[in-house]
């Protein structure tokens, strides 16, 4: 740890703060965090936190989820303009319009959505819990939003239910093409290809494994292979190089970088801890409805 990182750890101790960081954060942020995880793990950690202060190094919907799950705590988002373009693709009005079209369906929203959209839905999921949640729902019909690609991935594994998919997408994963997988395999024929289910179905179909960031990390750590081509955000490759230096890992495509996830800097984190800014606030009535969808996800995933 360098001096700035030691300063942050000292501040975290002084303020009794729990620092949570997503796997897509830069390595200097991951190194100072108490917990590094995917959306599901960060939500779980936020829910059980006993610290008075939670600092979420990620994007806004993650900080909102932490606040929803543990409303008595102060939750800070050190980079307040770090949003998720996919989450912004759907609004509560869109959900209302879809409810009129599909009155018997359960509304399953990806955690990458605003608190207002969660409040308008029935249950939430992360990429690691989506299949389990969809199977566990009593409904035979499901509207899945906002990610069309994760929706395809879930629908393929839960064929007994009828899915209606919203047309949102992740601006990073959606740009991976089947041709990118073929080109990467030509360059590294010895490697296994692992992709995130936010990639299009044609990409998932060509991969050796598709799973959440945490599942990809576990797969590489446990599996012997001559190399791995990673089709998700570059932060996962950087983490693997730090935690599993004996493994050969390559990024499937150079553009796999989420600019929003890279907005948090050590200076932002120190500033948040020093000043208590930016605290996430959610309207109480809306928070109650949105919390229900997250609690239901956790109950159905256990």
**Rounded-to-integer distance, Cα 238 and Cα 152, Å:** 28
The reply to whether 261 sits near ligand SF4 by the rule CB under 6 A is yes
**Rounded-to-integer distance, Cα 77 and Cα 62, Å:** 9
Q: In the range 102-131, which residues lie near ligand SF4 by CB under 6 A?
A: 112
Q: For the CB of residue 174, give the shortest distance to ligand SF4 in the complex, in Å.
A: 8
Question: In angstroms, what CA-CA distances link 66 with 18, 41, 182?
Answer: 11, 11, 39
Q: Is the dihedral of CA 111, 171, 204, 159 positive or negative?
A: positive
**Rounded-to-integer distance, Cα 243 and Cα 246, Å:** 9
Binding mask 66-105 for ligand SF4 (x = CB under 6 A): ------------------xxx-------------------
**Three-class secondary structure of residue 68 per DSSP:** helix
Look up tokens 């990390």; give the residue.
217
Residues pairing with 141 in the sheet:
162
The reply to whether 41 sits near ligand SF4 by the rule CB under 6 A is no
Q: In the range 205-234, which residues lie near ligand SF4 by CB under 6 A?
A: 233
Closer residue to ligand SF4 (CB): 15 or 253: 253
Closer residue to ligand SF4 (CB): 64 or 233: 233
Neighbours of 170 (CB within 10 A): 26
Q: In the range 172-201, which residues lie near ligand SF4 by CB under 6 A?
A: 172
Q: For the CB of residue 128, give the shortest distance to ligand SF4 in the complex, in Å.
A: 14
The reply to whether 260 sits near ligand SF4 by the rule CB under 6 A is yes
Residues in contact with ligand SF4 by CB under 6 A are: 59, 84-86, 112, 170-172, 233, 258, 260-261
């Amino acid at each position: 740890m360098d001096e700035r990182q030691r300063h942050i750890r000292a501040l975290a101790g002084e303020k009794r703060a729990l620092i949570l960081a997503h796997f897509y954060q830069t390595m200097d942020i991951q190194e100072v965090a108490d917990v590094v995880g995917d959306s599901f793990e960060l939500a779980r950690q936020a829910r059980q936190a006993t610290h008075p202060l939670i600092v979420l190094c990620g994007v806004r919907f993650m900080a909102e989820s932490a606040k929803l799950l543990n409303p008595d705590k102060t939750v800070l988002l050190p980079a307040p303009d770090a949003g998720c373009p996919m989450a912004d693709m759907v609004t509560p009005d869109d959900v209302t319009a879809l409810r009129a079209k599909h009155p018997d369906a359960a509304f399953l929203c990806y955690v990458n959505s605003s608190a207002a959209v969660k409040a308008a839905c029935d249950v939430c999921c992360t990429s690691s819990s989506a299949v389990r949640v969809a199977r566990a729902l009593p409904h035979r019909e499901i509207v899945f939003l906002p990610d069309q690609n994760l929706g395809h991935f879930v629908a393929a594994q839960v064929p007994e239910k009828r899915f209606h998919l919203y047309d949102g997408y992740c601006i990073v994963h959606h740009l991976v093409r089947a041709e990118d997988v073929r080109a990467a395999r030509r360059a590294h024929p010895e490697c296994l290809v692992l992709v995130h289910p936010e990639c299009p179905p044609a990409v998932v179909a060509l991969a050796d494994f598709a799973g959440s960031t945490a599942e990809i990390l576990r797969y590489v750590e446990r599996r012997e292979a001559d190399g791995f081509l990673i089709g998700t955000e570059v932060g996962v490759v950087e983490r693997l190089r730090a935690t599993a230096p004996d493994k050969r890992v390559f990024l499937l495509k150079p553009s796999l970088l989420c600019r929003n996830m890279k907005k948090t800097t050590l200076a932002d984190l120190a500033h948040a801890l020093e000043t208590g800014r930016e605290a996430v606030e959610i309207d109480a009535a809306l928070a109650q409805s949105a919390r229900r969808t997250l609690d239901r996800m956790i109950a159905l995933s256990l």
